Amino acid sequence: MNPLIINKEYTETIYLFNEAKADLHIVQQEASTLNLFVLHLTDLSCMQHIHIQQEGEHCRTNIYGLAVLKGKQEYLCDTLLEHQKENGTSTLIFKYLLFDEAKGEFVGRLKVQPNAQHTDASQTNRNIVLSDKAKMRTMPQLEIYADDVRCSHGATTGALDNEAIFYMQQRGLQKDLARQLLLQAFAEDIFEKMPIQQQEQARNLFTQRI
Amino acid sequence: MILSIKNLHANIGEKEILKGVSLDIREGEIHAIMGPNGAGKSTLSAVLTGNPAYTVTQGEVLFNGKDLLKMSPEDRAREGLFLCFQYPVEIPGVSMVNFMRTAVNEKRKYQGQKELTASEFLKLMREKKELVEIDDRLTKRAVNEGFSGGEKKRNEIFQMAMLEPSLSILDEADSGLDIDALRIVAEGVNKLHNDKNASIVITHYQRLLDYIVPDFVHILYEGKIVKTGDKKLALTLEQKGYDWIKDELV
């Protein structure tokens, strides 16, 4: 598969809304920006590979993803972000919501090549598991070969906050509604990064899914 | 009568914390519940509000004549019970405005009233904000997110003003507050108090009762109310400490 090239100083915004079949390979030239939004809100079980190379200096990469998995669904998202030249920045936030017996897996590979000094990269994977039988596996993998860089990563997997649910119930909200507000809040973090026009579509897909 | 508790026993896990609490609260009254750490003060507020971490093993609670213990936590709230939390929970991503609008309208629906329109709601919010002197800054953010201790407590009082409960329980409302924040919280409570509603003020220290003057002071010790008096009892406690009670019980 030929990679998609983002030309020098261009900005490309890509939406993969329920299009997980499509693997993605993108090469960024100097001072280009990639905004990538991935939503996996269907019953489809699959593996998705996303490979981004910052081939030029001063590139910017933003990746935001959200998956809601149900039933016996399995979904693996494997990301590889390569910083190859100086002064690149990247932000990745990927979230999973797992119901029933769903299995989710997230691989966040971050590679900073020796030439990629002054890279500033952050990677976050947050997951909420809503049933005892659902499983989440998260694997951040950082390979850093340059010495003057800033890289951070964090991964958390937990249940819904019961104290927050009780707090809302104490104010008169039904338990189901409280749960729903928390789930929406969890997803909103991703939606609010999108341009206004896509936010509405994303919210609708999400509401139908949960 | 707003609240009538008879012989209430409650456990957390296998451990019995409340060992027969009885208490009657009428319209217009403020009751202080004091006691040493571990006496069961916070358990009492948790049990009354229906916190699922606790199990009631015995006893009866009537709230405005209805069986409180049979109700879900949200129905208790809609019936007019409000807990001012000791540690208000941060809920990132849920805005204060939406949260309050939902809460107010859920209560109205439950009580057979029409839901407020957006403009009616905003008007109500403006009135109550002025009443309890809360900043716009706070109501525009997510629920309690990044609030200081004082801001969280002030936000609880604001919510109390919005929901107009018939019984409010203030669980250690003074913990973690400096004297200015304490005064603002107490003033809010006093402004909201009238001859139709009632409050339970749970506190370890007498300090808060300088600002919120109780009609009755109860001492909770080892899961029971062991002494009841007027506001002077709180002063005696302050001077003599809780050991005095322990000695008296022997």
Q: Which residue has the higher pLDDT, B150 or A109?
A: A109
> Hey, where are the domains in chain A?
4-160
Mean pLDDT of B57-76: 97
Report the DSSP pairing between strands A135-144 and A103-112: parallel
How far is A206 from A164, CA to CA, in rounded Å?
Answer: 21
Mean pLDDT by 10 residues, chain A (210 residues): 93 91 91 97 94 98 98 96 98 98 97 97 97 96 96 95 96 96 94 94 94
Q: Determine what percent of chain B is predicted with pLDDT higher than 90.
A: 74
Mean pLDDT of B220-243: 90
Across chain B, what does the average pLDDT equal? 92
> Hey, where are the domains in chain B?
3-249
pLDDT (0 to 100) of residue A138: 97
Q: What is the DSSP string of A153-209?
A: EEEEEE---HHHHHHHHHTT--HHHHHHHHHHHHHHHHHTTS-HHHHHHHHHHHHHH
How far is A93 from A70, CA to CA, in rounded Å?
Answer: 21
Q: Which residue has the higher pLDDT, B167 or A189?
A: B167
CATH class of B3-249: alpha beta
pLDDT (0 to 100) of residue B170: 94
Contact B99 A167 (CB under 8 A): no
DSSP-derived secondary structure letter, B230 = -
B106 vs A contacts (CB less than 8 Å): 172-174, 177
How far is B32 from B201, CA to CA, in rounded Å?
Answer: 5
Please report which confidence band the pLDDT of residue B250 belongs to, taking 50, 70 and 90 as the band edges.
low
Q: Calculate ∠ Cα B4-B108-B98, nearest 5°.
A: 115
Residue B182 has pLDDT above 90, yes or no: no
Q: What is the DSSP string of B151-184?
A: HHHHHHHHHHHHH--SEEEEESTTTT--HHHHHH
Q: Mention every residue, 6+ apart, whose C-beta is less than 8 A from residue A66.
A: A38, A39, A40, A41, A94, A95, A96, A97, A187, A190, A206
Name the closest residue on chain A to residue B90, using Cα atoms. A164
Which of B89, B111, B163, B168 to mutate to probe the A interface, most A CBs <10 Å? B89
Contact A186 B93 (CB under 8 A): yes
Mean pLDDT of B27-56: 94
Lookup: tokens for A157: 């997997």
Which of A170, A173, A175, A179 to mutate to probe the B interface, most B CBs <10 Å? A170
Q: Mention every residue, 6+ apart, whose C-beta is less than 8 A from residue B216.
A: B29, B30, B31, B32, B228, B229, B230
Please report which confidence band the pLDDT of residue B220 belongs to, taking 50, 70 and 90 as the band edges.
very high
Q: What share of chain B is helix, strand, coil (3-state, %, to 5)?
A: 40, 30, 30
Please report which confidence band the pLDDT of residue B172 belongs to, taking 50, 70 and 90 as the band edges.
confident
SS3 A145: coil
Give the one of A161, A170, A177 whose C-beta lies nearest to B77's C-beta.
A170
Residue B37 has pLDDT above 90, yes or no: no
H-run or E-run covering B42: helix B41-49
Contact A167 B94 (CB under 8 A): no
| B247 phi, psi to nearest 5 deg | -65, -40
pLDDT (0 to 100) of residue B181: 81
Contact B47, B56 (CB under 8 A): yes
